[in-house]
Amino acid sequence: MVLDIAQQASVTSKIFAFPLNAWYVAAWDHEVTNKAPLARTVAGRPLALWRGTDGRVSALADACWHRLAPLSKGAIIGDELQCPYHGLRYNRAGRCTAMPAQQTINPSATVPSYPVVERHRYIWVWLGDPDLADPGQVPDMHQMDSPEWAGDGETIHAGCNYQLVLDNLMDLTHEEFVHSSSIGQAELSEAEFEVTHDDKHVTVSRWMLGIDPPPFWRKNMRDKFPGFSGKVDRWQIIRYEAPSTICIDVGVARAGSGAPEGDRSQGVNGYVMNTITPESDRSSHYFWAFMRNYRLDSQSITTQLRQGVHNVFGEDEDMLIAQQKAIDANPDYEFYSLNIDAGGMWVRRILDRMLQAEGR
């Protein structure tokens, strides 16, 4: 390991602010249409999103300049958004183009407009300095739309701060206890792991060699190799990209078949794709998918995997909500860290540096 986290200072459990000079997912691509605006709150900012006649997505602050009526309750008129209260219209830049009962438009009649990128089946928005909104900085989730991978996912509206979800994903030893009937096993806590990091990424790698596969992975091995039995080599490689995207390379292969050296042909490989968008201090939008690189044409496997992961993440959600309630009941309590928290600690340090760079 790079860091003995148990020797570090304790971490406060108080809720932190959100970096704004960053890309966050506001919605799945299919959620935003040209039929009606979509309301979604990202990092405390209520937004109205819609598609124009060319299919391009726009995002405005969800409050009319006139009386703060929510634009998301209005109508899409061509490429513009019409306020539901008095009919003011706004273009994609947030400038009012029409007012009721008058031809002169007040030059101050504008609402904030936010940069948008559609990529990896998601709609990403940037709430900070628009001059810094580089589409090249959208987190890498290429498995989501690669022809070499198949899968699907869902959204969890999680009743907790987004950093608690990041903590949960960066330390998977909790699987032994929270998910004992599906993906958990004692070897998770027993195995060594390695943590590496830079100014934007953190990676936690764990290999478990010559073990019995847990039920979830045994089923997946039999989907690819009917009748499979025996030991496996299992891996979890967790890759974080700031501010809140975590892609987890997971899988098992026949024990001793060369998976640690790079030959995964005798196994099954998946990617758990996670990007977590803060909504408020105590709620978040958790977008996830499970992608696989075998039996790509099987909708049955896609559906079964989505439902299986849905059930697993439901157990996580229950725990995270309970944790948030305990934090609210003990606002001055400090978290204490174990070695297993090393990845999550580096994530929090990266987020702290982002906030400092924004002067917050």
- In angstroms, what is the C-alpha Rg of the chain? 23
What tens digit of pLDDT does each residue of 277-303 get? 999 999 999 999 999 999 999 999 999
Delineate the domains of the chain, giving CATH numbers in brackets: 23-127 (2.102.10.10), 146-357 (3.90.380.10)
Give φ, ψ of 273 to 5 degrees: -95, 125
Residue 295 is given by DSSP the state S
Specify the pLDDT at position 7: 39
Amino acid letter, residue 46: P
Specify the pLDDT at position 139: 97
What tens digit of pLDDT does each residue of 165-196 get? 999 899 877 665 556 555 756 666 677 889 99
260 torsion bin: left (phi>0), alpha (psi -120 to 50), beta (else) = alpha
Specify the pLDDT at position 188: 66
Stretches in the chain below the pLDDT threshold 50: 1-15
Specify the pLDDT at position 2: 40
Specify the pLDDT at position 340: 77
Contact residues for 198 (Cβ-Cβ < 8 A; gap 6+) = none
What tens digit of pLDDT does each residue of 94-126 get? 999 999 988 899 999 999 999 999 999 999 999
Specify the pLDDT at position 315: 84
CA distance 220 to 305: 9
Specify the pLDDT at position 226: 95
Strands (E), 21-99: 23-28, 38-42, 45-51, 57-61, 75-77, 80-82, 89-90, 96-98
Specify the pLDDT at position 185: 60
